[in-house]
Amino acid sequence: MIEKVEKLDMEKVIENFERLTKDAEKVQRETLKRILEENASAEYLQNLGLNGRTDPESFKACVPLVIYKDLEPYINRMVGGDVSPILTGKPITGISLSSGTSQGKQKFIPWNDELFETTVQIYQTSFAFRNRDFPIQNGKALGFIYSSKSSQTKGGVTAATATANVFKNPGYKHVMEALKSPSVSPDEVIFSPDFHQTLYCHLLCGLLFREEVQIVSSTFAYSIVYAFRAFEQVFEELVNDIKQGVLSNRVTHQSIRTAMSKLLKPNPELANLIHKKCTGLSNWYGLIPELFPNVKYIQGIMTGSMEAYLKKLRHYAGDVPLLTSEYGSSEGWIASNVNPKVAPEFATYAILPQIAYFEFIPLTQLDGNEVELKPVGLTDVKIGEEYEIVLTNPAGLYRYRLGDAVKVMGFYNSTPEIKFLRRNNLLLTINIDKNTENDLQLSVETASELLAKEKMEVIDYTSYIDLSKEPGRYVIFWEISGEANDKLLSECCTCLDKSFVDLGYISSRKSKGIGALELRVVRKGTFKIILEHYVRLGASVSQFKTPRCIGPANKEVMQILFANVVKNYFSFAYK
């Protein structure tokens, strides 16, 4: 694998993608056959009576649709150290931990070498199309990547986040070099156990290699925004490090200090240049191209819940293009962006038919009897229709419902191009109202325009359903920049309420079936505390997503929010 990666030819990657997508149905049958043959000895499949059959018809007839809790008993045995063929023919090589932000509880996802290979395929495909439109020549990447701590389960299985499992694979560095994206940061920085120290050194390495940086990237847009918000606070300290050639005392891990000492030499000229550029900016607009004059683009996953950070990211980016990259989940990759010039808000992702076997449940079926669900195949989806993705991958997930809602926007050859809509299970609902994560985002965006007129912004937000009193109400938490007066925040609260356009919500508010929306403003730094809470639990900053709807399982997060409320307001809509 590594040898092939080193000799990667971008045009051949695109040619291979063209070939695979021209007969996606055939490739899907071959993919399912390969997965089932490799795992034929697995207890799970044998108990379902497949008897060695690998055709889609037999597979769908014998194997049920499942969610995580259905597979959890099998996964727990694997986590416990049982190396018999349970979900996979060969023992897994590790466990990937989900971030836990969606459900308040981390999931344990089987990981093996085949999943790393699908990661390589998705990275290669996305980069080949990006590089065709935005070619990189002898450049480096300022990648805000963080390898969270791995641990051993009681059964001796290595558990780490999905991103950490990728970063720690011996082939990862070769992949990045082949994709013309070697990191400016040494391994000691990337694999530091303290993400604050890692972030500081990422920024410092970027400044030291500022002329060579052609890509600024992270897994999610959130991490890039977080990094440059942090830069605003520490830039003078970074400048001093460069001027003196000595690393700040805030970095205490000896391995990082040793690695950084090889890069740091006194450079007053560079320090003065960076200081002049930073102090000459108006409210940090265009910070990224000022710091990195040869940057070609900023790249990461920028759709779904990440769209909330695009406004701030564009502020930092100035005229530098924002490119959304891939679409996937902790359970596995799904699709690549093969039209990188399209703005993230309108981006679609082309499904790679060889990396997993895919089915799609029409969302119209989810309002009925779920026993009667009838998924359709990859090439049978219809343009304009919305579906939930079902995934079968090489690491033991069979007909696994991801919970992701997507819309089919078109086809690339015969494979669908999809737009991510939302997580299906993230809903604000009290009775007949159904507001999604996207509905919440639109409401926040609309109301935050009132703040923008006063040169303030929403730094981050989340919500929960308060049923402690009758009638229940939506509660939205905001962390904002600046000091807004009560009149303005009260107007923002009413605007939030009126911006939900779901008819069930509007009628419930008018009939007083749902109470007045409440806006709670929290102290500055509250969402940083929430991030640190998830990192302590084992989440990686690279794959962190602020939970948009806090449920009963998120008790610790609820406590953090409640303890940091400084003001609250109630809507005057529907009086």
Domain boundary assignment for the chain: 10-114+327-423, 135-320, 427-570
Our separate counts of H helices and E strands in the chain read: 21, 22
How far CA 47 is from CA of 41, 50, 61, 62, 87, in Å, comes to: 10, 8, 13, 10, 11
Query: What is the spatial distance between Cα 155 and Cα 149, in angstroms, rounded to a whole number?
Result: 18
User: Which residues touch 269 (CB under 8 Å, ≥6 apart)?
Assistant: none
Which letter does DSSP use for residue 7 in this model?
Answer: T
Other beta carbons within 10 Å of 38: 15
The pLDDT of residue 59: 93
Among 22, 13, 216, CA closest to 128? 13
Strand partners, 110: 95
| Residue ranges in the chain whose pLDDT is less than 70 | 1-8, 99-105, 148-150, 162-164, 167, 169-181, 367-371, 425-426, 542-543
Answer yes or no: are the C-beta atoms of 396 and 42 closer than 8 Å. yes
The pLDDT of residue 371: 63
Answer yes or no: are the C-beta atoms of 28 and 379 closer than 8 Å. yes
| CA geometry: angle 553, 555, 559, nearest 5 deg | 160
Answer yes or no: are the C-beta atoms of 35 and 44 closer than 8 Å. no
Which letter does DSSP use for residue 549 in this model?
Answer: B
The pLDDT of residue 104: 54
The pLDDT of residue 110: 85
Q: How far is CA 312 from the centre of its chain?
A: 17
The pLDDT of residue 415: 97
How far CA 369 is from CA of 42, 262, 364, 552, in Å, comes to: 30, 63, 11, 26
Query: What is the spatial distance between Cα 437 and Cα 442, in angstroms, rounded to a whole number?
Result: 9
Query: What is the spatial distance between Cα 289 and Cα 133, in angstroms, rounded to a whole number?
Result: 19
* Residue 556, token pair as written in the block: 């610790």
Query: What is the spatial distance between Cα 192 and Cα 204, in angstroms, rounded to a whole number?
Result: 15
Strands 518-522 and 473-480: parallel
| CA geometry: angle 271, 277, 282, nearest 5 deg | 145
* Residue 525, phi-psi category: left (phi > 0), alpha (psi -120 to 50), beta (remainder): left
The pLDDT of residue 573: 77
Query: What is the spatial distance between Cα 458 and Cα 311, in angstroms, rounded to a whole number?
Result: 11
pLDDT digits (tens, 9 = 90+) for 300-352: 989 887 888 899 999 999 999 999 988 888 888 899 999 999 999 999 999 99
pTM, two decimals, is 0.85
User: Which residues touch 412 (CB under 8 Å, ≥6 apart)?
Assistant: 21, 338, 350
Strand partners, 108: 97
> Phi and psi (nearest 5°) for 307?
-60, -25
The pLDDT of residue 454: 86
Crossing angle of helices 555-563/526-536, nearest 10°? 150
